[in-house]
Structure 1
């Protein structure tokens, strides 16, 4: 399989996964992005790839980035992009409202709690 076809398949797979995660049928999603169901079906099956402007529209509707859709990153959520510092009370249930990354991989809540426990122990 050539690289272009592999890329179309990856884009389609990621669009489908995120669309289904949001609970959209192909027809509903097509209406949201100003397209047709057949175009969405073609994207998801790898028969065609969205034009760059459409990739941006799709990424916005699916709350992701174009980089994720085209395979430049494996981080689906733009929450992983560092833009501002945030103060989080680590003793609360607030942890689940954020995505924490280490080496571009998402940390589980248990890993975060372990790291916090370790830091508290070493600071004393």
Structure 2
């Protein structure tokens, strides 16, 4: 078990995704989206790392898994918002593809951590 949530690979990947969203997507959105898409993207990006952190702090496998499932949902939401941003021509196909790759990496790592915790809870 990690001694700190910052040691978790899934948290690191989601943090990287959050930074990518802030740098490569939020900066490209028009001011008219400030309280709509911008806000939704920022909240979902923050939610992914926050849920991993909160789950890690719970000390019970089932509770931790519950928060990891929430984090997984937030990553999926980030991707959905990225697709919307591309549809509106706010971002390029290349930015969306990088977002997809980062989101898929996050999902793989979160799923792996969930599997690990489920196995540990059976011991």
Report the TM range for the smaller structure's normalisation.
0.3 to 0.5
Normalising by the residue count of structure 1, what TM-score does the alignment of the two structures yield? 0.37
* TM-score, normalised by the number of residues in structure 2: 0.38
Larger gyration radius, structure 1 or structure 2? 1
Structure with more relative contact order (C-alpha pairs < 8 Å, separation 6 or more): 2
In proportion to residue count, which structure has more helix?
Answer: 2
